[in-house]
Structure 1
Amino acid sequence: MMKKVFGTAILLVVLSLISVDVVAKNKGAKKVPGVWQEQPIIIDGSSADWKTPYPYYDEDAMLGYSVSNDSENLYITVQTGDAATQLKILEGGLTVWVDKTGKQDEVTAINFPIPANYKNRQHAKDGSYSREENEPDPGPQEAVQKRIIEMQQNVKKAIAAADEYSLQGFKGCNLQFPVKAENSCGIVVRIDMDQDNELIWEAKVPFKAFYFKSKIDRTDKNRTIAICFETTGSKRPDGQATRTVRGRGRSGGFRPSIGIGGMGMGMQFGGSGNQSAAYDPNANLMESLYKSTKTWVVTGVAVK
């Protein structure tokens, strides 16, 4: 009898420790309900198949994101309209961690783009644009406008160079692949710029590549999956102090989007390009380039 009671006590302690560990790891992670994907999403670097604006936004990382699933695939997308954050992703890479247990274990990941792929970093990391020889010194507003255009040109060059990705922790496909090549796991990734100068990152991840089984059913109703979007900031130039960019990081879903082409110069909400606020020409447009971030989200597994 005593052995049985003692064994039960040990089991309760173990279960309690496991519960505490899960709570601790999920602390700070945004918890969102699972979304059932009625029609398969075409992975092409476009937000056309997603509900826009994206439902979730990390103000610190300046990333919008969305997650959904059908019975066979997990769909993930990330979006940013901040040019410096776009450069950070394209130069330093984006790592998307996927934990089937719903904790925050960094074992299984998609690395795309791969940092080494973009070697021609020609932008000025002090936030100033590159003036031509004998070009007159522009006013502050014109300098910001020119810098934005230059950053967008660098982003487009970097997108063209983002042609490889790597996988780790998946079932039998942990290698480096060309973006357009097939892999045995069936994972597909793409990145591109949309008409509003928003960088769109997409992935389709078959459950067979990482989950407990190849297809989701009603028995998975109460399960969760943890996903993390990790960016790596560039090294700040020597002697440059940290600056605060006014207008960023407000509450209420304020999403900075720096755009040209009918939008003028300003901060847009959600990349729509219709609403703008005054832009501080003295702020360092490159500030978010130097900041490393991790955005954890715990999503429910949607079932039908």
Structure 2
Amino acid sequence: MNSINVRIAGVVLMTALLGQVNVNAQDSEPNKWAPEHISIDGQATEWPKPLQFYNNDTKLFYTIANNKDTLFMIVSSPDQASQRRILRSGLSVSINATGKKKGGAMITFPLVGEIMGAPDVPKESRQKLADEWKRQALANVKEIKVEGLTGVTDGNIPANNSYGIRTSAAFDAAGNLVCEMAVPLALAGIPAGYDKPVAYRFRVNSVSATERREFEKALREKQAKASKDGGAPAMPDEETRANMVLFFSSEFWTKQTLAAHP
């Protein structure tokens, strides 16, 4: 095959791949109509494949859907760094019915806490054990954090609540972290039959500034000890470099209109 044909074949392949999922949502793109009998369980089994959009900043695949009274969202994260941040500090989803890409009601989940450690076990067993810990922690999340929802006090509320807010996160068979959320349209400030674009923000959170300072202090002390002992300053090891991804958040905004009943 000559070079021209190779380039043409490459373009055709890339076009086909991009046709499977939109790289970035366009403003005012419509939601999907929510699948019937949808279960918020951290599994994507009821959702059409592939998910509708992909965002490269956050490395998230996602679809936003609704029925006549509820807004649904699903996010799938294959990226290890994004998974670590979500597990440590949560995924925050903001909803602004005015269409402005700022503010709005916000839900943060899953609130897992610190599960990144692993006991002193052989290296070949460590990853398997850490994965099991993560699955168990996700299955036992007790709270979510809310802000700006109509009729709901800001702060942490039970994951199993009486407001109709449902969230779940779990790992699928392929190792993707799947997060699902359902919230009544009224709680998000979206009137029935609303036909204007709604703005959504997805943010993969970083650790708090306090946690970052504590981590950096421990690293400085480790480097200082190495220098005092006559060696070169200790370079960050693999675990330290992996933890440093927790310092940085990533996010994006998009606008979509509500889906009409098909």
Indicate the SS of the match to 1:209.
coil
Amino acid at match of 2:61: G
Does the Cα contact within 8 Å between 2:35 and 2:47 map onto a contact in 1? no
- Name the counterpart of 2:8: none
- Name the counterpart of 2:49: 52
**Structure with the larger strand share:** 2
Between the two proteins, the alignment pairs up a number of residues equal to 212
Q: Distance in 2 between matches of 1:35 and 1:121?
A: 35
- Report the Cα offset of residue 286 of structure 1: 5.4
Percent of matched pairs sharing the same residue:
24
**Structure with the larger helix share:** 2
Q: Distance in 1 between matches of 2:242 and 2:248?
A: 13
Q: Distance in 1 between matches of 2:102 and 2:134?
A: 31
Q: Distance in 1 between matches of 2:42 and 2:35?
A: 19
Indicate the SS of the match to 2:175.
coil
- Name the counterpart of 1:178: 158
- Name the counterpart of 2:256: 299
Q: Distance in 2 between matches of 1:94 and 1:38?
A: 23
Q: Does 1:65 align with 2:52?
A: no
Amino acid at match of 2:100: K
Alignment of 1:176-215 (within 5 A): 176-183=156-163, 186-213=164-191, 215=192
Does the Cα contact within 8 Å between 2:69 and 2:184 map onto a contact in 1? yes
| Alignment deviations for residues 7-27 of structure 1 (CA, whole Å, 9 cap, x no partner) | xxxxxxxxxxxxxxxxxxxxx
Alignment match of 1:113 (pick from 93, 110, 119): 110
- Name the counterpart of 1:166: 145
Alignment of 1:225-264 (within 5 A): 225-234=198-207, 235=212, 237-238=215-216
Does the Cα contact within 8 Å between 1:109 and 1:168 map onto a contact in 2? yes
Using the size of structure 2 for normalisation, the TM-score is 0.68
- Name the counterpart of 2:231: none
- Report the Cα offset of residue 83 of structure 1: 3.3
| Alignment deviations for residues 29-69 of structure 1 (CA, whole Å, 9 cap, x no partner) | 74333222352422121111111221211222121111011
Q: Distance in 2 between matches of 1:53 and 1:151?
A: 28
- Report the Cα offset of residue 227 of structure 1: 1.0
Is there any run of 5+ residues in structure 2 with no aligned partner, and where? 1-23, 221-237
Q: Distance in 2 between matches of 1:187 and 1:58?
A: 25
Q: Distance in 2 between matches of 1:39 and 1:196?
A: 24
Taking a change above 3 Å as real, the CA distance of residues 82 and 131 of structure 1, as seen in their structure-2 partners, is farther
Indicate the SS of the match to 1:162.
coil
Cα RMSD (Å): 3.1
